[in-house]
Structure 1
Amino acid sequence: MTDLAPHTRPDTDSRYHYALMRRAIDLIDAQADSPQSLDDLARQMNLSPAHFQRVFSAWAGVSPKRFRQYLTLGHAKVLLSERFTLLDTALSTGLSGTGRLHDLFLRWEAMSPGEYARGGAGLTIRHGWFDGPFGEMLVMATDRGICGLAFSSETGRDGAYADMSSRWPAATFVEDAAALAPQAQALTDLRGEAHLHLIGAPFQIKVWEALMRIPSGHVTTYGEIANAVGNPRAVRAVGTAVGRNPVSWLIPCHRALRKSGGLGGYHWGLPVKRAMLAWEGARLDATG
């Protein structure tokens, strides 16, 4: 089991600070066309400017003003031009070592094609709602590991749950947040170990495995993912598989961009994708 290096962890385990940062990001994102000063942002957060700056910088690794720059589409294009990673060379260059959720160690296994075809029949999937660093998250897990991770800030709880549960229509779903709390806490703290139980078609599994090779703070394109899975013409199918990723963020589908540098889509909303890319880019720059 590996753990996060100290310089990549948030400085607190408090859910209060995660909620605070989500509110701040929402404010910064909503005011992108008319940026607010640090004093204005702090006032809207009901905090002193000094305390707001300190807490925000500890979470993001940079100041609120700097973080605002990372939320722009232009930053995505910079990522693509400066941190574009060819997946077929990622392993040989050593980049993949930091690709798995900022050194969160993942163990994963996939369902067999037959199990997938049965729509989850015979599986019991537990689920619960938790606070996470990028908004409220729905965690789903079988006895073998986390099989679903969704964010509700754009879709709402009902939409997120309906989306995830429809993927395995024959499974039995049980609400049991207490049983999932240790796994959810590991995700929220960005440390520990996550066991994944990937439930998808064989082609989808190959695409998701390729996504896990993309290092934090770097991006790639749908076309390069298609090359990496040995089917260079299947760009559209890759896009579909990326969108069907059942454990967003753990399998970093947010790091896949269009060839033009555009963000493309994101299943749980573009604001969430932008926040994830900005957080990763900011922390990578801050740590050199």
Structure 2
Amino acid sequence: MAVGPSHLPLHILESMTENFSKDRILGSGSYGTVYLGEQEEGQKIALKILHDKTGHDDVQFEKEYYTLANLQHQNIVRLVGYCHETRREFLPYNETIVLAEVTKRALCFEFMENGSLSDYLFDFGLSRFFKEEKSHITNSPIGTLGYLPPEFINQNIISNKLDIFSLGVVIIRIMAGTEGYSKSAEMPPEQFTEIVHGNWRNRLQSAASGDLLESYSVQVKRCIEIALSCVVADRQKRPTIGAIVNMLSERETLENDQGELIDQMSTCVVNDTELIDVHPLQLHFSF
């Protein structure tokens, strides 16, 4: 029988993190700050201190805790303990600490040979976990609204396609800028693809020609198409992360020397009002 999460005294967590040293900070967001901790036997853990300003209360925390404690999946981090104490003089607010087990790459995505994720941490606020091929419904607001899909905004549904939607938003904003992203919802996908692709091609023509231009042009168009497929309203129609990797890996091989091209591209000037404001070579994916 597996041992469930337990209450951990604050002084133990302080010892694990060297009194919550700034050097131990892994990341910080609107919901809290995550620290790297290490137990005496060497096991690494992630500790999140929740900001009091988030408005969570004891009842909300208790519900969240039991939700996380009961959810198990091969691709999520395991909740191993919690601490709810008001003692720590150097912090001006009460705090809640959520402790999660961390594997060697638990705070990043790792692709296995089959293209799946071996380690997965979904962390908008508190980690939201869901079982394979199933979704999880939450009543608490999480994440940055502009990166969240319609099923979450309208129905509070979290599934494994939520991050796919967010990835699509990131790619579109890289490809077309913030203004361009807003325009993507105002026109058919084909029209948006042609506009963004055309802008990139015009910019590339000043630094490349022939086969090299065509190769980069193909990469640009493929990235746009992938991004648009990630942000479709129906989450079932969004691609899997494995499919996205495969599509990016199918790029044409660039046979020409790129060193000279990089120097030429650094001299390109783009007006801030244009759709695109990103160095084209940033679109070179090397999976």
Is TM (by shorter chain) over 0.5? no
User: Shorter-chain-normalised TM-score: which range?
Assistant: under 0.3
As a proportion of its length, which structure holds more helix?
A: 1
Which is greater in Rg? 2
Higher relative contact order (CA 8 A, sep 6+): 1
